[in-house]
Amino acid sequence: MKFVFRAKKGLEDIIENTIEAANQDAAVAKIIEQGLVPVLVEEEQKYLARESSKKRAAPPQISFMERVTKNDIFTFTKKLRVLLKSQVPILSSLYILEDQITNRKFKELIHRITEAVKEGADFSESLARFPQHFPPLYVSIIKAGEASGKIDYSLEQITKYLYDERQITQKVRSSLAYPVLMITVGIATVIFVITFIIPKLEVLFEDMVDTLPFVTKVLLEVSLFFSSYWPFLLTFFVMFVTFLFFTRGSQWQAGVARAIKGRTPVVKNIIYNQSLCRFARALSILISSGIPVLESIRITTPLVEDRAAQGQLEAAYKQILAGSGLEESMRDNCRFLPDIFIKMVAIGEASGRLDEILFELADSYADEVDTATKIVTSLIEPMAILIVGSILGFIVIAILLPIFEMSFMIH
């Protein structure tokens, strides 16, 4: 099988050629044996087809919508693990991945990491330069892998952690998607009826304005407001949504979201269990990677969403630093942790299986999040139907009530 490859020779020279090999991994190995650093290795037919389609396609444009997502980081981590496990050097692996990335912002990010590694920086040090994309948890696990010579294993742990995190988030989002859609459609229907349908019926009540029931008067006033100012209301709504979109990820949005989630009765329990799951799983991975418990607690503290809980963990960290045990420090300071959590940590610390115990705790909290989400979903759906149905029922009654009264007076 013939492969087209592009490889670096030294710092500046780039070589493009073809090579015969049984598969892509074998082709990469042959290129490395020649003292080259492969940047692109692709089957010849696929390469020619892609180049042909590029010529026919319009020139690429940078989209202002492009950004580096968590899914980009997950895919990058997973592919890098596969390459390193196949004995491809870290620099060569980064060159290969950089060439495959289509998102221009992410491509630039990986290029800067690659250049840092090429200049002699450790991989973990290069990642640490971009904390908004590679948090301390990610960097610490990679650093532990570099120390033990098992970066591929560290990447495997990170991949599993990111996958589990994504699974929990997707379960919550998919469970709430249908109720949210139902509520949105219901509200849109009510607004449409009030804005465009009710004004057309207003002529029926022109001669009985003084005798109209109170609910009908309220409905007509609301309808008058919406029908008169709907262009301004729509403009304001579009501007507000646009503002939220372009300021997504900002500190004030995160603060508002935390406040809302922290005060919503059922949702706050889901967020609480999700934070415990994230904290336990991250702590387990760090400890199993050989990172000391004290350092692991410091790294995982930001993963807990509640600011008060973060303060309690920081106090526990200082108490451990002063010489106290893990169980004692958590019991004295971490009021947000359930008693069973602290007891299980004590058992794990005594038996030397703390990482395994924490992993089991993380799984149990993930199950609780899944169960609670299903319960919330089952409650939201009938509540949404009831609320929207009540509003529509109010509109119908407000319209029919004066008609019934008029009919009664005629009889």
In a domain, residue 12? The reply is yes
Boundary of a domain, candidates 9, 31, 53: 53
**CATH number of domain containing 296:** 1.20.81.30
Tens-place pLDDT, residues 282-304 = 999 988 888 888 889 988 888 88
- Categorize the per-residue pLDDT at 314 as very low, low, confident or very high, splitting at 50, 70 and 90: very high
In a domain, residue 80? The reply is no
- Categorize the per-residue pLDDT at 411 as very low, low, confident or very high, splitting at 50, 70 and 90: low
Q: Any idea what DSSP says for residue 59?
A: P
Boundary of a domain, candidates 53, 68, 88: 53
* 340 pLDDT more than 80: yes
Structure tokens at 365: 């909290």
**CATH number of domain containing 11:** 3.10.20
Predicted local confidence at residue 55, as pLDDT: 45
In a domain, residue 214? The reply is yes
Mean pLDDT across the chain? 83
Q: Which residue has the higher pLDDT, 239 or 48?
A: 239
How many C-beta atoms surround the C-beta of residue 335 within 10 A?
A: 10
In a domain, residue 130? The reply is no
Q: Please report, rounded to a whole number, the percentage of residues in the chain having pLDDT higher than 70.
A: 92
Mean pLDDT of 319-333: 89
Predicted local confidence at residue 108, as pLDDT: 92
Q: Angle formed by the axes of helices 70-85 and 104-118, to 10°? A: 40
Predicted local confidence at residue 66, as pLDDT: 67
Same domain, 369 and 229: yes
Q: Which helix (H) or strand (E) element contains residue 13?
A: strand 13-20
Same domain, 180 and 45: no
Same domain, 178 and 45: no
* 124 pLDDT more than 50: yes
Predicted local confidence at residue 410, as pLDDT: 66
Boundary of a domain, candidates 16, 35, 53: 53
Same domain, 173 and 25: no
Could you give the number of structural domains in the chain? 2
> Where is average pLDDT lowest: 16-25, 92-101, 200-209, 391-400?
200-209
> Where is average pLDDT lowest: 27-41, 48-62, 89-103, 365-379?
48-62
How many C-beta atoms surround the C-beta of residue 321 within 10 A?
A: 12
Calculated CA dihedral for residues 49, 50, 54, 57, nearest 10 degrees? 80
In a domain, residue 313? The reply is yes
In a domain, residue 250? The reply is yes
The domain containing residue 362 runs over which residues?
165-411
* 206 pLDDT more than 90: no
Tens-place pLDDT, residues 259-283 = 777 677 777 888 888 889 988 999 9
Mean pLDDT of 343-368: 90
pTM: 0.67
Same domain, 353 and 219: yes
CA atoms of 109 and 103, how far apart (whole Å): 10
Tens-place pLDDT, residues 28-63 = 888 888 888 777 788 877 766 666 554 444 444 444
In a domain, residue 15? The reply is yes
- Categorize the per-residue pLDDT at 74 as very low, low, confident or very high, splitting at 50, 70 and 90: very high
Q: Angle formed by the axes of helices 136-148 and 265-288, to 10°? A: 20
Mean pLDDT of 318-326: 88
Q: Angle formed by the axes of helices 151-192 and 136-148, to 10°? A: 160
Predicted local confidence at residue 244, as pLDDT: 84
Mean pLDDT of 89-94: 86
Mean pLDDT of 311-333: 90
Predicted local confidence at residue 126, as pLDDT: 92
How many C-beta atoms surround the C-beta of residue 137 within 10 A?
A: 21
Same domain, 201 and 333: yes
CA atoms of 181 and 85, how far apart (whole Å): 43
Is the CB of residue 308 less than 8 Å from the CB of residue 268? no
In a domain, residue 68? The reply is no
Is the CB of residue 289 less than 8 Å from the CB of residue 157? yes
Any residues with CB less than 8 A from the CB of 79 and at least 6 apart, and which?
A: 97, 100
Predicted local confidence at residue 315, as pLDDT: 93
Predicted local confidence at residue 49, as pLDDT: 66
Predicted local confidence at residue 358, as pLDDT: 92
